[in-house]
Structure 1
Amino acid sequence: MTDYDTYGTSTHTASELVRLVTGHLDVVFTERESDYRGVYHLAQGTYGRIEIQPNAIPGDDGQDDPYAPEHSSVRVLLLTDTPAPEPTLHTRLGTIQGLVHLSRESW
């Protein structure tokens, strides 16, 4: 089973959140660019896959669209993908001021 968690913040920019998460988890992010998602940051390692990206992504009509429309008030998203429940990851992310756990799905 894989756990997918979504966190969000309107307090930090994507680059600020990358710096904070790097300090809390000792992971290394690489910047990626996608036609669909725009610029996002990816880390893979002990905790699984962690992505940080703006909620506003480039739309087909030249306007930005929310990546997570159900959380449209959130500026930046942090997405995790772990092969099993990872309580240490969630505990450490929970210590980042302004970062809120929004949802969890398990498949």
Structure 2
Amino acid sequence: MADYDTYGTGTHTVSELVHLLTSHLDIVFTERESDYRGVYHLAQGAYGRIEIQPNAIPGDDGQDDLYAPEHPAVRVLLLISTPTAGRTLHTRLGTVQGLVHLGREPW
């Protein structure tokens, strides 16, 4: 069973969070682009799949939509898919100032 966790921040920009987590977790992010999600950053490895993206994503009507409309104050999202309960990862993320755990969904 896998877990899908969502974290968010209204404090950091996407590039700031990429830099923080790169050094904090010793992982490497690559920039990706999607018509649906816009530009996001992806790291895959021992922790699972980790993605950083803005909450505002390009909308079909030329206006930005929110990826997580239930969290309008969150500027940047951290989306994590872990194959098992990643206690170490969540403990380390808990030390990142301004980063808030928004929810977990089992797969």
What TM-score comes out, normalization by structure 1 length?
A: 0.99
User: Do structure 1's residue 88 and structure 2's residue 88 form an aligned pair?
Assistant: yes
**d(CA) in 1 for partners of 2:5 and 2:106?**
9
User: Which amino acid is the alignment partner of residue 25 of structure 1?
Assistant: L
**d(CA) in 2 for partners of 1:55 and 1:87?**
25
User: Do structure 1's residue 37 and structure 2's residue 48 form an aligned pair?
Assistant: no
**How big is the shift at 1:23?**
1.0
Count residues in correspondence: 107
Q: What is aligned with 2:54?
A: 54
5+ residue gaps, structure 2, are none
User: Which amino acid is the alignment partner of residue 14 of structure 2?
Assistant: A
Q: What is aligned with 1:74?
A: 74
Q: What is aligned with 1:9?
A: 9
Instruction: State the Cα deviation string for residues 22-44 of structure 1 (Å, max 9, x = none).
Output: 11110000000000000000000
Q: What is aligned with 1:102?
A: 102
User: Which amino acid is the alignment partner of residue 15 of structure 1?
Assistant: S
Instruction: State the Cα deviation string for residues 78-102 of structure 1 (Å, max 9, x = none).
Output: 0000011000000111110000000
Consecutive aligned runs of 4 or more in structure 1 exceeding 3 Å deviation? none
**d(CA) in 2 for partners of 1:85 and 1:71?**
24
User: Which amino acid is the alignment partner of residue 87 of structure 2?
Assistant: P
Q: Give the aligned CA root-mean-square deviation in angstroms.
A: 0.5
**d(CA) in 2 for partners of 1:61 and 1:9?**
26
Q: Secondary structure of 1:85's partner? A: coil
Q: Secondary structure of 2:105's partner? A: strand
